[in-house]
Amino acid sequence: MSSLRGKTAIVGAADSEIGVVPNMTATELCVQASMRALKDAGLQKNQIDGLITCNSMAQPIMYHAEAIAEYLQIFPRYCISVGTGGSTTFTTVHHAASAIATGMADVILITMADSLRSGLTRERAMLIQSASGHPEYEQPYGPTVPAYYALIGQAHAAKYGTTPEQFASIAVTCRRNAGLNPSAQMQDPISVEDVINSRMIADPLHLLDCSLVSDGGSAIIITSADRAKDFPHRPVYILGVGEGHGHEHISQAKDLTTSSAVESGKRAYEMSGLTAKDIDFAQLYDCFTPTVIVELEDLGFCPKGEGGAFAMSGEIALEGSLPINTHGGMLSHCHPGNPGSMFALTETVFQLRNSLPRARQIVNPEVALVHATGGIMSSHTSLIVGVEED
C-alpha cells in the first residue's frame, strides 16, 4: 500500500468562540470556525472542493455535511459526515489525506462544532450519557460515561498501583497550561489536593478528573504537499496516521489497562518512519485523567505501568521532555463532545508554526503526535505531523 507520508499538509486552522456560547448554535459555531480557517489559509469559499464534518448532538442534522455546505454556499465534489466519537477528528484527517492523494479533492475543509453546554437540557444530556452503554449488559445497571471510565482507572490502580495523586497530576498539568491560554474555559490554578478534594463522581474519578462540558468548534484545511508552500503560513505535513479499533462497549474490552492506541500508534509510527523518541510534544485525549496515563504507555512514551509516575514526575509539563495538551486539553480548555480533540490539532498547528505567545510556545518544535479516542476507549486514531515533508 502506498504511504501517505508527506503527501498532504494542513494549511489553515482556526477555532470558533469556545466555552459557554449561548448566543450561537452548533451550526453557527461550525460555520464560524470554517470562515476563520478560510481566512487563516487566505482562501475564498469557492476554492474548497472537499468538505468533511461531524454531526452535532445538540443540533443533529440528517445530512450534516451537505447542510453545512449549503449554509456556507460551497459546492464540493467530495462531501461526507463521519462519526467515530472523540476520535472523529483524526479519522477525518486520515480520510482527507487519502482523498487528496487519490485525486478525489484538492482542498478539503474539515469542520465540526457542538453546543453541549448551552444547547442541551440537563435531562437530555443525561439521556445521551446513559444511552452510550450496551442495552442489555450495561444500561440496565445505570452507569453513565464517567462510571465506564472509572473502571479503567480502577483497573490501572489495581494492576499497577496508580494513585489518585498520579491521576490528579494530569489535571494539574492541563490546568497550568490553560492558565497561559487566554481562550481556555478554565484558567484558575489547581493543585493535586484540589483535585482529590473535589466532589467524587465515580470512584476514583473526582470532579476535576473529568473533562469540561463546553460549546465550540474548530476547523482545518488540508491540501497536497505540492500546493502547501503557496499558502501564507508554514505548512504542517501529515507524516503518519494509524487507527485501532478494539470494541464498542466497555464490557467487551479484552483489557481495561491496555487500549487499541497500541495499534494506532504503531501504524502511525511505521508510516512516519519515526518513534516515540522523535516526538517533541503530544496532545493526548484527556476526557478523564486515567485515559492519559494509558495513552502515555500505549503510545510508547513510557513503559507499561509507569504512566502515573511519568506524569507526576513533571515530564509532561511544558518544560518537560514530553509536553502534553499545551492548550489545556479537554480537562481545562474546552470539550464540546466529538469535536473536543479538534482543538488539540489546531493548537498543534499553531505550535509548529511557532506562532503562539512565548509563555506557552515550545521552543522550535518539529514533530508532534496527536491522539484521540472515541467511545469508551474504543476507537483510536494517532496522527503524527511535522514541519518537514521528509
Q: How many domains does the chain have?
A: 1
Q: At what angle do helices 289-298 and 261-272 cross, to 10 degrees?
A: 50
Q: At what angle do helices 26-41 and 64-72 cross, to 10 degrees?
A: 60
In a domain, 127, yes or no: no
pLDDT recorded at residue 1: 46
- Under 8 Å CB-to-CB from 253, ≥6 apart: which residues? 246, 247, 376, 377
DSSP label of 21: -
Measured CA to CA, the distance from residue 37 to residue 41 in angstroms comes to 6
Measured CA to CA, the distance from residue 16 to residue 216 in angstroms comes to 6
Measured CA to CA, the distance from residue 244 to residue 247 in angstroms comes to 10
Residue from 201, 153, 190 nearest 332 by CA = 190
In a domain, 280, yes or no: yes
Q: How far is CA 28 from the centre of its chain?
A: 21
The model's pTM:
0.96
pLDDT tens track, the chain, 390 positions: 468 999 999 999 999 999 999 999 999 999 999 999 999 999 999 999 999 999 999 999 999 999 999 999 999 999 999 987 888 889 999 999 999 999 999 999 999 999 999 988 777 777 776 677 888 888 888 888 999 999 999 999 999 999 999 999 999 999 999 999 999 999 999 999 999 999 999 999 999 999 999 999 999 999 999 999 999 999 999 999 999 999 989 999 999 999 999 999 999 999 999 999 999 999 999 999 999 999 999 999 999 999 999 999 999 999 999 999 999 999 999 999 999 999 999 999 999 999 999 999 999 999 999 999 998 999 999 999 999 876
C-alpha cell at 159: 494492576
Q: What is the CATH number of the domain that holds 295?
A: 3.40.47.10
The domain in which residue 254 lies consists of 8-119+212-386
Q: What is the pLDDT of residues 296-344, one digit of tens each?
A: 999 999 999 999 999 999 999 999 999 999 999 999 999 999 999 999 9
Q: What is the pLDDT of residues 198-223, one digit of tens each?
A: 999 999 999 999 999 999 999 999 99
In a domain, 137, yes or no: no
3-state secondary structure of 248: coil
In a domain, 169, yes or no: no
Say which residue the cell 503518519 belongs to: 240
